Structure 1
Amino acid sequence: MKTILRMAAFAFVCLFAAQSASAAVVLRKYEYFTLSGKTAADLDRELSHRGPQIHKTGQRHPGATQMRFNTKVKYGSDAKSCRVVEADITIHARVHLPRWKQRASAKPDLALIWDTLSADIKRHEESHIIIARTAAFDMERAFKALPWRSNCDEMKNDAAALMTKLMQQQDAAQVQFDRVEGKNFERRFERLLVFRLQRQMEKK
């Protein structure tokens, strides 16, 4: 099971593309891949073979989130100047999560580990979406705060340069989040296991 636990720390892939759409909201779509097995070794093997694959590295992971930033910027102009009058961003997120076929008939100890792991994988992916949504909100405000320019071509160039800069910052924030998560994974997972075990004992 140790390999499964270590793998969960790297349960992220995020693909970004700046396109056109509306306000700073997130549209989620969940997709599940099924694992089949009765032991920790089975689950380890299934995750390594069936988990979503990152195209850049070819590696598979216990979970993944693909995100597309759709950006819509409207400009207003008069005879002397041009400015941003509206900026809206929609994030389209496709979340890939594991589902264990034999969970209902699993032994209590393995079921506890799996439930803890799968919940942490989902939390991890949702955290990436939260980071992206916060970044999108900041992007909208930054677009609207751009200084007026003498014409809309210059304004559009400023907006494009700003988008590139802010997307790079957002990407860096996602990478940093993964670093922190990976660093603290074992300690966090142990704490989560203890918490779930205590809850089970309290219910008895």
Structure 2
Amino acid sequence: METIAKPWVSVAEYLEQEHRSELRHEYLDGQIRTMGYASEAHELIVANLVRLLGNCFLDTDARVYASNRLLHVPATNGFYYADALVVFGKPEFLQYKQKMQATLNPGVIVEVHSDSTMEYDQREKWASYQQITSLRQYVMVWQDRQRVETYRRTTDSDEWIYTSINEPERPVRIGECTVSLTDIYAKVEL
């Protein structure tokens, strides 16, 4: 089977196309990846997390964004649509021709895994996300079972502490918020 190389696309071309597109696409150093279909479980988990985090951070300077917020990682020349972002303090943006903004300084990034995105989220995205100096935590949530994995950056270095939680009664710490798996998976049929 012959593999056909995809043409390289500039950041400006990507942003111009993305601004006009009805579909969402991610971009990594010249290559574009179309965002796929999201299941009901995926959307319920994202909605639950955005609600839980939004309520928790309501009286703080943090902002919680859902999956339509474009994220830019300059160090890897990547643009992504994470399932949820939390920005602490004043948000910073890459502005493109007054048409589009991409967040530059997330403190927390959340991705909800599906079978088709798990490897991409755990490898390419995670490798790129680690280059974000403001990032404090990367949260990966499974949609087919109650399981949350987190990587939390230590305060004095670039080391990451890994945690895996799959017991419904055990709390999950996201940023400074504590939520339960039961609340994250509310109304989700597994």
Common topology (TM > 0.5): no
TM-score, scaled to structure 2: 0.23
Pick the structure with more helix per residue: 1
Higher relative contact order (CA 8 A, sep 6+): 1
Pick the structure with more strand per residue: 2
Q: Which has the larger radius of gyration?
A: 1
